[in-house]
Copies of this chain bind each other. A is one copy, B any other.
Amino acid sequence: MAARFLVTYHVRAGAETIAARARAIAVEQSVEMPIEAIEAPEVLRDIVGQVADIADLGAGAFAVRIALATATIGDDGAQLLNMLFGNTSLHDDVVLADVEIPSALAATFGGPRHGIGRLRRRVAAPNRAMTCVALKPQGLSPHRLAALAARFAAGGVDFIKDDHGLANQGYSPFADRVRACAAAVRGQPTRYVPSLSGNLDAMRAQIALAREEGIDTVLIAPLLAGFSTMQALVAGFPDIAFLAHPSFGGASRIAPELLIGTLFRLLGADAVIFPTHGGRFGYTPETCRRIAEAARLNRVDMRRALPVPAGGMTLARVPEILDFYGPDTMLLIGGSLLMARERLTEETAAFTNRVATHQYR
């Protein structure tokens, strides 16, 4: 009996068509051909997806659970996505809603190499929520970004991440930016987190350069880099912690809690950024709660990943956000802190102080 794991799709269909639609998805995400044309009995038995059950969600939607063969994934991150949602992503009646990650896949991909516990140790924050800010806007020179970093660090923030738009552009080459920003925070507990870009070779060189500058945490957008690229980096640089950015996450077709909370974690993200409710993105509080729950879910086979709510957060919202997510969280305030301009250090200090002294309800 071949090992299988359960994948849940939410499908818009009529009651009279859902059974056939479910079988079609099971075929599309496995052998992708008419099963009556399959001659090999072992393929029919061990490879073809099987409809496990169908639940009526009401309002013309159904939850279809399909058992996919673990062997079709092999050990490759991109192939995982391919088997979960490759061709079916082209059908607009389907959302990829959930995956029950079996221990075999957890062992293959490994999950966070550092996770919440080791991130806490890095910044000497054993209990409180952690803090993060973003270096922006793109277009500034390395020198000016480093000056911003110094002022953020003086405000006592834990992590300063590059804006995910900072790549290797002419106006701010990666090497110059990283050297300048690393120097700006050196000797302080604050971590500067550069954003990786380009292909696997380029990202390896970027991490190597960053490591020489004493950096131990980097930012990566798994959907831009490719899951296999991230997988190779996580395996190749076990001393480096990875902060995952949701850019290009196209949230409406893969449930955000699955993509960001479960799959990014499975790939090895130690911390996962996502747009929190009430900001400039449309995730509901319930979606955000589920992202955090998926990232932090206790499993014996994988470390927990740190949820990093972001996306239009302000200082005024810190208490509410902390009460919502609890202390195993890192708050990321991006652009709104920069509104303080010459008072940037003071505003950053107000942010870090508010997080450190928060009394949970």
Contacts and interface: CB of A to CB of B under 8 A. Distances in A.
Contacts of A201: 200, 232
A28 B33 CA distance: 42
A280 interface: yes
Contact of A82 (B164, B171, B202): B164
Given A91-B282, A253-B253, A76 B37 contact: no
Interface SS of A by simple majority: loop
Contacts of A87: 164, 246-247, 275, 281
A272 to B, nearest CB: 13
A165 B40 CA distance: 17
B81 A136 contact: no
A248 B250 CA distance: 11
A79 B167 contact: yes
Interface string A14-44: 0000000000100010111110111110110
A169 interface: yes
Q: How many copies does the complex hold?
A: 2
Max chain B Cβ within 10 angstroms of own Cβ: one of A197, A200, A231:
A200
A33 B136 contact: yes
Contacts of A171: 71
B86 A248 contact: yes
Interface stretch (A108-116, A222-230, A298-306, A352-360): A222-230
Contacts of A170: 71, 74
A126 interface: no
Contacts of A139: 31, 40, 42-43, 46-47, 72
Most B CB atoms within 10 A — which of A48, A167, A224, A248?
A248
A319 interface: no
A250 B90 contact: yes
Interface in A92-136: 92-93, 136
B225 A74 contact: no
Interface of A: 24, 28, 30-34, 36-40, 42-43, 46-48, 71-74, 76, 78-79, 81-83, 85-87, 89-93, 136-140, 144, 163-165, 167-171, 197-202, 221, 224-229, 231-232, 246-254, 275, 280-282, 334-336, 338-339, 341
